[in-house]
Each structure stands twice: as structure tokens, then as C-alpha cells.
Amino acid sequence: MYIDDTIAAIATPPGIGGVGIIRVSGKQAFTIVDSIFESSGSLPLMDRPNKTVQYGHIVDPSTKKTLDEVILLLMQGPHSYTAEDVVEIQCHGGIVSIRSILSLLLAHDVRLAEAGEFTKRAFLNGRIDLTQAEAIIDIIDAKTEDSLTLAVSQLDGTVSNFVKDLREQLIAMIAHLEVTIDYPEEDIEEVTSHEVGEQLKPIAQQMDELLATAQSGRLIRDGILAVIVGRPNAGKSSLMNALLRENRAIVTDIPGTTRDSIEEFMNIEGISLRLVDTAGIRETEDTVEALGVEKARQYLDKADIVLCVIDGSTELSPEEIDILKSTAGRNTIVLLNKSDVNQVITVADIEAHGTFTAVESISAAQGEGTVVLSKWVKELVYGGQVSGNHDTMISNVRHISLMEDARSQIQQALDSIDSGMPVDFVATDLRGAWEALGEITGDSLRESMVDELFSRFCLGK
């Protein structure tokens, strides 16, 4: 799983910038960089003070050609990102300069790092666990302050500390049960099962409380997919433009203007919203428009929030009735558009065709809709509260799935105790829960899974 060599990669985005950074990590990091670095100081890099900045030039030893003026950041292990010796080379941000330095390193027994390998080494060297490694991805991908705050709290170990505490309690119970198995006496077995059952109940409650935050945590982390649907010319594109406060979608009086889905991101109540304006849903013989309608239906199946736009100034059409029926029972907010003119559709007319989260009147042409959407985003994520407690949230889909698996094993153990099953059945269930929790932090994760998880990182991280 672990190769004890020296790796390097460019840690800044490609392109031209003020500064380019190349990160080098491994046992030979100081020695190799020292062989291509020239400065006024005569001490080898390894003998210079740790956590210092060194000024000089990168020079190709074979040609004596100076590649760039640089500064080095020296970080001796284990007090570095990877817990190994790390040198960060900061050069000018030109494409040629940074690639030339990297090529020179690769010619001196340095291997190009794989995606996520620096963070993988931090994990393998025990500096962070798997939940913290995944939080680093979330920090990089964060699109709002709330998603950043949630990721930082998980990097600080909120989830991993919770999991580790549960595992410690479970392994103590497993050991207690296994002593009973080794020394079988009926009265002792009954007492032991009862004691374990009483200890498991508060653990189950803690897991339930954490899992109750999963929906909010996932939406804060991943954002909300809000899909705008409706018949042609209902005002979907006007609503899209009003929410974005720019003319992103073409608006005309001609039905069927939007033939493909238009996507944009926006920030509402600190939540990243992926807003999708879809083609008007109707029967059509136009091949291109039909493809757009089919894509609209596909988005509808994946939506966290459906914004169903109905022209409130005209009677419900058969097409709109079909759309209402297809969106009923989902998290659908029906928007009766064109409230600036006489309305002929009532809430009762809408509710006659299904159950909806809300029915609201707006005028997309006059820029209304943001307040309504903001209210229901807040309701979806925080249950109507202004904000949530990010310190106690679980947001990663993998973590949620494993926590649910562990909770199921705990319930099986409780059921076995209530049924008077032998303690070895209870011990098996508890060990299953213990192992599932270990997969969250990486304590009992397969090597192939570790490789797959870190492959999601970018190069240089």
C-alpha cells in the first residue's frame, strides 16, 4: 500500500500566475532539492532550521543553467502535511518555469505524485484519518461559507472523534461478551446480556441523533438541485433570470424557446443551489424539443426541490394538469406566476391534482421568487431554522451509509438480547457494527477502497 520514495507535483492551478508551487515529499526530499538549489548559505538544507524560508535559485547541475529565482519552505517530518520531510518550492508562476523545475526534479530520482498522494501519505502516516482526508476534498470543493464551515469542522475531527468513541465503547462490550463465551455459565450470560443491552441504548440514541442531521448535512455539502418545470411560456425562463439577476435564459413570447436545460449555481441562505431551467413539458413532434422535454423529466427525478411554474392568469391546461400530477408527492413548490395580472387559478385548483409542499403566488417578470425560494431552501435544509449546528452534522454519503449499517447491527444486537439469544450472536452483531464504524475512519478499510477514495483528489494534494 505504501511506497517509501520521494514524490513531487505542482500544487497550484495550471496557467500563468504570480506564484507557482511545487511540493516535494519523502525521505530524500531535502537531499534532492539541495542538489539543484543554490543560495548564499553553505549549510545543507537538512541542517538548516526547520519551518524556515530559504531564498536562492534552482540550477540544473548538468548545464549550470539557472531555471528560476525561488524561495523554499522547509518542513521536517513528522511536522508537515504528509508527516514526511516536505520542501515546497515557490517560483514565478509562468508555465515554462514551473514545468522546467518539475522536470528537473523528476530527473533526480523523484516520482510524479499520483492524484491525492500527498493526502494519502498523511493518512497512511497517521496524521489524519479518512474522515479528515475526505474533509480536505470538501474544503477544496466548498462553494458557500456554510459548506466550508461544515468541512472545516470535520477536518477538526468532529465526526472521527464521535466514531472513535463509539468504537471504544463497542470493543469493551465485545470483550465482556467474549469472556462470557469462554466461561459459559447461564446466570452470568443473562446478566452480561442485560448489561450490554443497557449500554447499547444510549449508543443507539446518539447514532440516531447524528443520522437525523444527514439530510441537512448532505444538502449543505453537496448543494440543492432545484429544477424549474412547467409548460412552455409559463414563465420558467423569466423566473430563472429573476433568481440569477441576469438575462441567462432567452425569454420570448414564442412557446418552446428553451429546448435544452440551462444550469447555473447561486447562493441562497448560505446553501449552494444548482438551478436548472428545463424545456417546457408538452407533447411535440419536434425532435430537438422532444429531447429537451425528455431531459426535463430526467432532471425531475433527481431534483431536491421542484419549482413548478403555472401561469396563474389562465385556466389550467391539460398539459399543466399532467405536470402537476407528475410532480405531486415530491418536494414541489407550485409557483402561480403572473400575479401582477388578474389570477384565475386558486390554491384549491392546484391541490385538486395532488399534494404539494407549498403553493405561492409570484410575478417572475417583476423579479419576485427569490424570497419564496429562500424561505423553502431554509425549510428544506434547516427545518425552518436560520442556521444549523455544523459541529454535529454528518454529510458524506459514504459515512451516512456506513453509520446506517452500524446502527442496523446495533439494533440486531438489541433484538437478539430481547429474544434471549446466546451472547455469541450479540457479539457477532456488535463486531459488525464496530467494523462498519471503522470503515468510516479508515481503521478497517480495504486497500482498494483507499486507492479509490484518494483518486478523487487533484494532483498536488
Residue carrying the nine cell digits 472545516: 152
pLDDT of residue 201: 93
User: Over pLDDT 70: what percentage of the chain?
Assistant: 84
CB neighbours of residue 460 within 10 Å = 18
Residue 450: all three cell numbers together: 483507499
- CA dist 42 and 142 (Å) reads 44
Over residues 113-133, mean pLDDT:
90
pLDDT of 252 strictly over 70: no
pLDDT of residue 253: 46
CB 76 within 8 A of CB 85: yes
pLDDT of residue 76: 94
pLDDT, tens only, 377-389: 878 776 644 444 5
Over residues 382-401, mean pLDDT:
70
User: Over pLDDT 90: what percentage of the chain?
Assistant: 33
Question: For residue 27, which of 89, 90, 78, 99 has the smallest C-alpha distance?
Answer: 78
pLDDT of residue 407: 96
pLDDT, tens only, 324-347: 888 888 888 898 888 878 888 888
pTM of the model as a whole: 0.74
pLDDT, tens only, 29-43: 999 999 999 998 889
Length of the chain in residues, anyone? 461
CB 367 within 8 A of CB 186: no
pLDDT of 179 strictly over 90: no
Q: Are strands 53-60 and 65-75 parallel, antiparallel or unpaired?
A: antiparallel
pLDDT of residue 287: 60
Q: DSSP letter for 280, please.
A: P
Which of the given ranges, 177-181, 273-277, 371-375, has the highest pLDDT on average?
273-277
